[in-house]
Structures are given as C-alpha cells and as structure tokens.
Structure 1
Amino acid sequence: MLDSMNQMKMQLNSLRQSMNRVEEEFEGLLADIPPHNRISAINFLKYLILRKTDVRDLQILLHENGLSSLASCESHTQRQIEMTLQHLGEKFEKLDSCTTDFGSKKIEESSQQLFGPKPENWFASIMVTFDSVFLAEKDLIPKLLKKGMSTARINCAHDDESVWQEMVDKIRLASKITGLPCKIHVDLAGPKIRTKLLTKGKDKGRVKIKIGETIWLSDSAKGFKAKEIVISPNESGVIAGLKIGDRVFIDDGLIMCLVQRVDKDKALLKIERISSKKPFIKAEKGINFPDCSLQVSSLTDFDKKCLPFVCANADTVGFSFVRSSRDIADLRAALKEVEADIPFMILKIETHESVKNLPSLLLEGMKDADFGVMIARGDLAVEIGFERLVEIQDQILWLCEAAHVPVIWATQVLENLHKSGVATRAEVTDAGHASRAECIMINKGKHTMEVLKTLRDISQRSVALRVKNRLVYRPLKIAADFFGEKS
C-alpha cells in the first residue's frame, strides 16, 4: 500500500510540476489571448501535458485505491490532480484556480452566445439546415421553432444570396411571431473539390470504371486522348501537393485510388477499390486527399464575396476547410474589412490536417471572445478513415471541453429517419452520443419534425449517462504533436 501511495504521489507531482511551468513556457502564446479566455487557454495547455503522457498505470492505481482516476478532468485538469494529491496527504497553500464550476459555466456562457438559450426540455441546442423548399411552406418555420430549433443554418454552397436573404427574413419574422429566439448560422462554401469529367463521360456526366484501371487527375484536357478518363479536381493547387502512394478517395470514399505517377500538371491514379454497386465516377462528387497537404486556400474568392451578407445577417459563421491558425487569422481579417463587429466563428473540423492542428486552431480561436467547433463528420470520416471516426470525434470533444469551447455534432444525425421516416438502430445510438455536444446539427430531409421529436426523446434519456464510463488515458498523438514529441 505504501509503495503504491508513493508511486501515485510521485507521478501526480511530476504532472503538476510540468503544468506549473506552462505560463512561463508559453508566455508569448498566452500574451495574445484576451483575459476572458486566459484561464481556459492555460487549462487547455495543462490538459495537453496530461494527454501526451501515458497515465494508464497511474489511473489503475488511483482507481484501485478509491481515488479519482482523472478520467473526467478535462475542464479543470490541474485542480483535479491537486485535489487527488490532497487525498493522499499533500498540502497546498493555493489550489489551481480553474475549477469544475468555472469550466462548466464558461462553456455554458459561450454556448448561449453562439446558439442562444436552450429550448425548454432540451439538453443541447438544435441547429436545423434550411432548404429552399422551406420557404414555400407557410407555417413550417414557426413549427420548427416550437419543436426546438434554436439556430437556423444557411449553407452558402447552395442557392444564392436572394434565397439566403429570404430565409433570414422569414426566420426573423417567425421568431417575432412566436416569441422564440433563433440564431442565424451561415456556412461558407469553402473550396469545392469536386469531380469534373474532362474527356470520356463528359457529356453524360459519368464514366464507367473498373478495379485496376488507371485514370488521370488534371486541371486540363489538353494532351489527352478522348478515350482516356481525365478528371479535374475543380481547384488549382491540388495536384502539386500529391506524391506517389497517396490515397485519393472519390464520392464519399466509395472509390479509392492510389497515385502512381506525378508530373508537372497531372497525376496518374490506379483504382484500387470500388464499394458502390454501380461502378461509375460521376460529376460533382467529392474528392478527398488524406495523405497530403493541399496547396488550396481555405478562404475562396466566392467566400469573400459572401462576407458582406454574413456580417449583415449571421450570428455565427462556419469556416469550411479550415486547416491552420493562419486560416483563422485570414478569415478574421477579411471579416473585419467588412464590419468591425464580426460574427462568432465556428471552426469546421473536416480534414486530417484540422485534426492534427486542432490545438493550434483552438488557441487561435481563443483570441476572439467566443467561438465554437463543428465536428463535420462527413468529409472527416473519409479523410481519417471511417474506422477512426469514433476515437477522433471523442478526442475533439475532450480537447474542446478542456479549452471550454462549445461543440456542434454534425452530419447524418438520424439521417435515415430524416429521409425515409424510419430510424435505424445504429443512428439512434449515434444520436444518443450526440447529446454530449452543446449543439446538434441536422441536415436537410423530408421528416424534420419527426427528427426533432425523436432527438429530444433520445437526448433526455441519454444525458444522465454521459459520465457512465470510466475513460482510460492513453497518450494522444494530437497532444504529442503540439509539443513536437514523437508519440
């Protein structure tokens, strides 16, 4: 017993000592964080120290001795370590100022800023993606508000500014009539990396393919024969970042290719897998490049043209394809060129680079009064691999809680129910997990009202089980990468 107590004390004190050096070691970085977010930034850095360390054996010892295993210390990391040390007989003149209550209140206050007050009998805010067909249904928007919608999402990748403005006007009118508040969220389109057929199949909008076949990726059809399959990624700067062996996914990962050769302005791809029943590459399907850093701007010319509308109408703006802290700084500067009082940013985590750089993204976001993170699970699953989605979305939730940043759980929430009227067992389970986020986003579909009703029922039953499982803290690569260590 004595040996185990000494071992626990030694490891906990070692972590505490490392955390005590955070403010000095990151003085330059913290200087750019406003006072409103400084405690959160410091706690986040301390949590990264914990998560770059393998504490699994320590957790077992703590648990066996009836002490906190540190499994729920995200919002108050050093404070939890110090409280545990006190139970082991250690004494401190002053405990870390970041408490459980502070972290919880900070997230709640930020959530209110971003999404407004939670609707009655809801444990998360609800964001509903607007479809232009909503405009033709007279009483639909008031019904959505009464059913729990607290934020309306407008996607700049669809329709045009006249339609977006009509949506905003009708949302505000419905809010006034019902007396129920509704925030406006506008998603920037971001770079449209989509298949564009340049030769074979161009007229039909699709081309038949087979496993083992080679196709070309190029910005131009120049120099190719009509019988060759040539696809443009629809964005310049993509091909330059490719290298031999890189994976290329087409159509939400249904088609996987490997890069065989890279020339100056073209790349030869070999089709390795076709998971769809019909073996076709179709026009306007997404392309993902999970193994390379694309030389593509996150903020497009089209996005910049949308910013006056965003600043005039949006409470929050979704930043698609964000990958680096520089991207955030660029959008912030572009918004401030339009309006001094800019909307709150929502960082959409949807690429492998945004996952790897998440600590830097969060710290850059903290330079604003409030901001949020969206787990955009569609492209993200393709980028990181479907089998890794569960662990990565959990890691995003943990890191954001440590930074006291609200999270939106997005993409395919009750998707089958939304489209067909019948939910699958798997998506009901997923919807239960969604209640861990501060906001849940639902996409377009025919059964929005039923989705809202079902989602409320599920979240009410799930919220009490959020801390049911004891977590085991293996080292996180994201944390090790931030400190420049090998994991």
Structure 2
Amino acid sequence: MKINAEKIRELITQIDVIIVAIREEETDAESLLAAIHPVYHKSARNLIHYNAFRKFDLRSTQKKLQKLGVTRLARAEGHLMSSLLKTRFILYSLLGEQPPLIPKAMLSIKNGKRQLSKHTKELLGYRSKGRRVRIMVTQPTQAAHDYQMVYDLVQNGMNCARINCAHDNPEIWSKIIANVKKASKASGKKVKITMDLAGPKIRTGNITPGPKIRKYTPERDKIGNILSPALIVLVPEVMETSKPNTLAVGSDWLHKLALGDTFTFKDTRNKKRKLKVVHVGELEVQVHCYKTSYISTGTTIRCVNRELDDGIVGDLPAIEQSILLRTGDVLTITKPNVLGTTPVFDKDGNLIERPTIPCLLPEVFDRVKEGERILFDDGKIEGRIETIFPDHFEVRITRALEKGSKLKAEKGINFPTTDLGISGLTAKDKIDMEFIAKNADVVNFSFVNSKDDVEELLSELEKLDAINSLSIILKIETRYAFDNLVEILLAAMKVKYIGVMIARGDLAVETGWDTISKVQEEILALCGAAHVPVVWATQVLESFAKKGLPSRAEITDATASLKAECVMLNKGPYINDVLQLLNKLLSNMEQFHEKNEPMLPRMEKL
C-alpha cells in the first residue's frame, strides 16, 4: 500500500490536538472527580474524555482513518483514551517511526467492556442464559393476586420486575413484591425489584361530565338488516366495574321478570322502543333491543304482555366528555380548580364559547411564555401559546387530525421549550421513597432534569439511610435532561450503582419525532462512555402485549434494544407471550450484535 506521509502526519496532529483538549478538560474537572464514588472513578474520567472528544467535528478525520483501514473511533466511547493512543501508535508505525511518549491510558479496551458488564450485573442482576440484554417487565395490579402469572413471567425470562408508584398503593405493591420473591425463589432465579417514582407528571384535569345516558345499537349488515339485536343486561345496581351494556332497574322489580316478557319505553329522543326478555338469571336479566336506543337515568320501562309495575332505570355513570380539536381552534387552559368545558355552538353552528381544560400543575402558569409550544396526549395534538392571562392562557392548535383529535381528562401535557423549573421529587415521591428504600433494589427516578434534581434524590436517600444500598435508574424523558446528561451522570456517580432509562415516549414528544433517533444514539454513547447500563423503554412490542399480534415495525424496534443492557416491557393481557418472543428474539440476534458492534457469525441457510 502506498503511504502518503503528509496525510498521515496531519492525522497524527489532529489526534494530538484532541488528546491535549481532553487532558485540559480532565485537569479542570479534578475537583469534581474527587467526589466520584471509587466504583466509578475510571468511568467518570472516561466520560469527561468522551465529552471533550465530542466537541470536535470528527467526520473528516474518521473518513481519512477509514481509508487507511484504521479504526474510525466510532465505537470507542467506553475506552476513549486507549483507542486514541492505539490509533496514534498505528499511524506512527505506518511511517516507520516510534511515537513520542505520552502517559498511558488508565482504561484498556478490555477493561472498559468489563466495567460496563460489572455495573450492569450489580444494577440489574444476573443475565439469563444465552442472553446479554436483561428484560424488565412492568407489573399490573393483577400481579398482586395472581401468583401463577408472576411465576410464568419469571420462568419466561423476566430479570427485573417494575412497579410504578403512579398506580395502586403500598398494600398492592407489597403483595406484588411478595409474589415476585416467591416466584424468584421457586425458579431459582434472582429477580431485581425496581420501583418508579411518579414524579410531577403534567396532565389535563377533569371535564364537566356529560349526560347519564347509554346508547345501544343492534348489529346490522351492509344493507341495514339486523344481524343480531343489542344485548342489554338488567341488574340491581351498576358498579364501577360493570360492563357498558348494563342497566340498573332495582332488585324487587328485576326478580318479577319472566322469560318472554315484552316492554316498551321512550328513549331520550322520544322514540318508542321495545325490549324482550331472553334470559332470566339469579342476579341478572338479559333483554334484546331491536332498534338504536338512547336510555338515560330515570327512563320508565312498561310491560305490555301482562300486569306489572313500571320499572325505572337507576343511576348511570355520566358519559366521559372529550374536546374535539381541529387545526386553527383556540383552547383555553385553566388552573386545576376549574372543570373543563366542551365548546358551545348556536343553532347555526357558530361558536359561542370556546372549549376549556384545566392543567393539573399550577406552577406551569408562572412559567409559560407567549409563542412557546405545547403538546397534548403524547404529542397527538400540538399548539402554540397565544395569549396569557393571570388565571389562564390560550392555545392556538397547530396540528391535529384532519377530522379533529379528541382531548380527554388525564392526558399528558408537554412544554418542550419551556423551562418549568420543577423539582424532580414531589411530596408524594418523598413518601413513596420510604417504602421503596425498604422493599426495592432500584429506584427509577422520574422527571430528572438537572444535577440539582440528582442532589435532591441523594439527600433523600441519605435521610433514609439508603445511600449505596438502593441503586438508581435515571429516567431521561425531557430535552433538559438530555442537554444536561453529562452533569446528571457525574452527579449520580457519587454513589453506586446507577443506570439510565431512555423513556422514549415522552422524550420523542419533547425533542421531536425528527430528532428522537439522534437523541437515542447520543444517550447510548454517553452512557457507554460512563459504563452506565441503559434501559430501552416505552412501547416495546406494545400492540403485541395488548392485542396478541406484533407488527413488523415492533420486531425491528425490539431488535434495536440490543444496543442497551435492558429492555422494558409494559403490561398487557398477552405479556407472557411477548416475553417468550422477546427472550427468543434477543437470544437469536445477540450472535449478530455485541451491544452496538455488529458481529459476523458464519452465514447459514434457514
């Protein structure tokens, strides 16, 4: 191979410039490094090296190195100085020269990988046989009462059980943990318990309830013939858990009904409708309805085939209201103590009153500015803040579905360009921390935005005497958390052991769908430099978990989790099927990937 000595010397100079910059940044960070826990001393130093390294635009240098058949340093984050010095040595060797002496790197390539492996085992437990990537599974409420389901999760490859403190209560959490530990012991597999702090989630508040009414519609074919009548179930009382086709009619009247009884009633539109009894049970009576009917609380049901007192429909739950928003609409955001309202129109369809919806976090109103973006319901609806008043602000909708998008209560709100100045720990979080410190292995810290949030968490752990006994996973879910990730990691590295969760749902909304791929890669790289394990989270095989069938895109996405140390699954009725598939998928694909490095086994036919 013909050697262009001048170009090689240019490359050596470029690498020397980078090394000098890294050494200077390392010197500036000595006081910060002094506070790092001994477990992370080398890792923190390597993170500082990598952060300095990435302040250069390296693309031209990488292309030149590639042409020489030398490493492009694209996968060097875990052992940066060692890779730079080795590359420098090779370049001098191509010139037939000995490189000038430079202090040795503290961390070899081999030791860099060992650091990550060790930290992963300490944080997330032992890996499953044949699989490097651990699997974390969110536990549903059912896990408190269904031991067999939990046992199956452990048997099918769950390494970590996740409990979200935003749901249920300490009594339920205790039962879930007991079942996980029991199943873990029975299977001979150590399963780590991780618990999420709820954090200051920003959500829409309640909307004024709709009428207490239920609609029943028979199933018809394409030309309008009835295929099957609507089935209505008459019961003594409608409970919160009752199905939508139930009506309460009072126990005494219900027990007088007989098979074949026929009834008439007038629905809310004053249309005359009929019902026929088709089944009489001990606790319920089933009737058929042959035309679309709107039945409300207080509707009178009259028997026509025999003498019988009238039945009265009991109290029904109010219809949950939603606000239909189209591009160009204006939505008023109010403080939490005001119920939301749907828009009001006159008889000609002209808007009389704009819709309103409360935001459940009052601190927001002191921080927002005109012109800032706002997103609702995981980014499905987007707007821009137009006008601000003392007790509310107005939002012009800039993106919604063509036919309009519905906004309901309890939906997330994101302010991606607003510095809300909200602490990562709420009053509820601090109470929940007491339970977590006593019962869990890891706390998942939601809504971390800065090193100050980390310091607050460490202070709380110190009060609970849980420093270094309770591990920490930092949930990166905002653009501020991403921008501050290096200082967040260095603040957390004062204790052992830590990890990072890429909360891809909120993060995508905050940073933008066009940016999330880049953001994911950068988080993986920075955590790789710090030897901090990463949890790949949000919507992994979610449609499979909920509906029982994965999409092709979901399979590809699940495979991408091989870049991380752990993948998180959310709950769903088909979660054990999902776990079996993911376990097999990761085991099969790990021969082609070692973290973010492609591997090449011998090609074989299927």
Q: Greater CA radius of gyration, 1 or 2?
A: 2
Alpha-carbon contact 2:205-2:340 (below 8 Å) kept: no
- 2:69 paired residue among 66, 88, 102: 66
The corresponding residue for 1:57 is: 60
User: For the structure 1 residues 372 and 277, does the alpha-carbon distance in structure 2 shift closer, same or farther, using more than 3 Å as the test?
Assistant: farther
- 2:331 paired residue among 210, 215, 218: 215
Q: Deviations over 1:182-214 (max 9, x none)?
A: 110000001131111466979744223332121
The CA RMSD measured in Å over matched residues stands at 2.2
Structure 2 CA distance for aligned equivalents of residues 37 and 461 of structure 1: 32
Structure 2 CA distance for aligned equivalents of residues 361 and 104 of structure 1: 22
Residue identity opposite 2:21 in structure 1: S
Aligned-pair CA distance for 1:462: 2.7
User: For the structure 1 residues 117 and 327, does the alpha-carbon distance in structure 2 shift closer, same or farther, using more than 3 Å as the test?
Assistant: same
Structure 2 CA distance for aligned equivalents of residues 225 and 359 of structure 1: 43
- Structure 1: 5+ residue stretches without partners: 472-487
Matched, 1:96 2:105: yes
The corresponding residue for 2:7 is: 4
- 1:184 paired residue among 182, 190, 193: 193
Residue identity opposite 2:547 in structure 1: S
Q: Deviations over 1:278-300 (max 9, x none)?
A: 63210000001101111322211
Partner SS, residue 159 of structure 1: coil
Alpha-carbon contact 1:207-1:281 (below 8 Å) kept: yes
Structure 2 CA distance for aligned equivalents of residues 172 and 10 of structure 1: 57
Structure 1 CA distance for aligned equivalents of residues 336 and 177 of structure 2: 39
The corresponding residue for 1:291 is: 417
User: For the structure 1 residues 185 and 277, does the alpha-carbon distance in structure 2 shift closer, same or farther, using more than 3 Å as the test?
Assistant: farther
Residue-pair matches, total = 471
Percent identical among aligned pairs is: 35
User: For the structure 1 residues 152 and 355, does the alpha-carbon distance in structure 2 shift closer, same or farther, using more than 3 Å as the test?
Assistant: same
- Structure 2: 5+ residue stretches without partners: 93-98, 211-317, 343-352, 599-606
User: For the structure 1 residues 332 and 205, does the alpha-carbon distance in structure 2 shift closer, same or farther, using more than 3 Å as the test?
Assistant: farther
Structure 1 CA distance for aligned equivalents of residues 11 and 503 of structure 2: 39
Moved more, 230-239 or 197-206: 197-206
The corresponding residue for 1:483 is: none
The corresponding residue for 1:162 is: 171
Partner SS, residue 238 of structure 1: helix
Aligned-pair CA distance for 1:470: 8.8
Instruction: Report matched runs for 1:221-240 at 5 Å.
Output: 227-240=353-366
Alpha-carbon contact 1:122-1:459 (below 8 Å) kept: yes
Q: Deviations over 1:295-350 (max 9, x none)?
A: 32221111111111101111000111110100011111112212344411110000
Aligned-pair CA distance for 1:219: 1.1
Alpha-carbon contact 2:40-2:493 (below 8 Å) kept: yes
Q: Deviations over 1:58-102 (max 9, x none)?
A: 111111011111111000111101101111222436421111122
Alpha-carbon contact 1:190-1:300 (below 8 Å) kept: yes
Partner SS, residue 244 of structure 1: coil
Matched, 1:145 2:154: yes
Alpha-carbon contact 2:156-2:583 (below 8 Å) kept: no
Aligned-pair CA distance for 1:42: 1.0
Aligned-pair CA distance for 1:27: 1.7
Partner SS, residue 269 of structure 1: strand
The corresponding residue for 2:498 is: 371
Instruction: Report matched runs for 1:200-279 at 5 Å.
Output: 204-219=320-335, 227-275=353-401, 279=405
Q: Deviations over 1:100-136 (max 9, x none)?
A: 1222111111111111100112221111100012333
Partner SS, residue 139 of structure 1: helix
Moved more, 127-136 or 177-186: 127-136
User: For the structure 1 residues 394 and 73, does the alpha-carbon distance in structure 2 shift closer, same or farther, using more than 3 Å as the test?
Assistant: same
Moved more, 212-221 or 9-18: 212-221
The corresponding residue for 2:578 is: 451
Structure 1 CA distance for aligned equivalents of residues 355 and 409 of structure 2: 12
Structure 2 CA distance for aligned equivalents of residues 153 and 72 of structure 1: 31
The corresponding residue for 2:144 is: 135
Alpha-carbon contact 1:200-1:228 (below 8 Å) kept: no
Aligned-pair CA distance for 1:259: 0.5
User: For the structure 1 residues 45 and 138, does the alpha-carbon distance in structure 2 shift closer, same or farther, using more than 3 Å as the test?
Assistant: closer
The corresponding residue for 1:346 is: 473
Q: What is the TM-score of this pair, normalised by structure 1?
A: 0.92
Aligned-pair CA distance for 1:240: 1.7
- 2:428 paired residue among 302, 310, 314: 302
Alpha-carbon contact 2:437-2:464 (below 8 Å) kept: yes
Partner SS, residue 387 of structure 1: coil
Structure 1 CA distance for aligned equivalents of residues 124 and 328 of structure 2: 49
Matched, 1:26 2:26: no
User: For the structure 1 residues 118 and 427, does the alpha-carbon distance in structure 2 shift closer, same or farther, using more than 3 Å as the test?
Assistant: same
Matched, 1:318 2:444: yes
Alpha-carbon contact 1:258-1:271 (below 8 Å) kept: yes
Alpha-carbon contact 2:207-2:409 (below 8 Å) kept: no
Matched, 1:461 2:588: yes
Partner SS, residue 378 of structure 2: coil
Partner SS, residue 249 of structure 1: strand
User: For the structure 1 residues 221 and 130, does the alpha-carbon distance in structure 2 shift closer, same or farther, using more than 3 Å as the test?
Assistant: closer
Alpha-carbon contact 1:349-1:375 (below 8 Å) kept: yes
Alpha-carbon contact 2:82-2:108 (below 8 Å) kept: yes
Structure 1 CA distance for aligned equivalents of residues 21 and 143 of structure 2: 54
Higher relative contact order (CA 8 A, sep 6+): 1
- 2:38 paired residue among 8, 21, 35: 35
Aligned-pair CA distance for 1:452: 1.5
Aligned-pair CA distance for 1:246: 0.9
User: For the structure 1 residues 282 and 93, does the alpha-carbon distance in structure 2 shift closer, same or farther, using more than 3 Å as the test?
Assistant: closer
Matched, 1:173 2:201: no
Aligned-pair CA distance for 1:435: 1.3
The corresponding residue for 1:383 is: 510
Moved more, 284-293 or 256-265: 256-265
Structure 1 CA distance for aligned equivalents of residues 588 and 75 of structure 2: 21
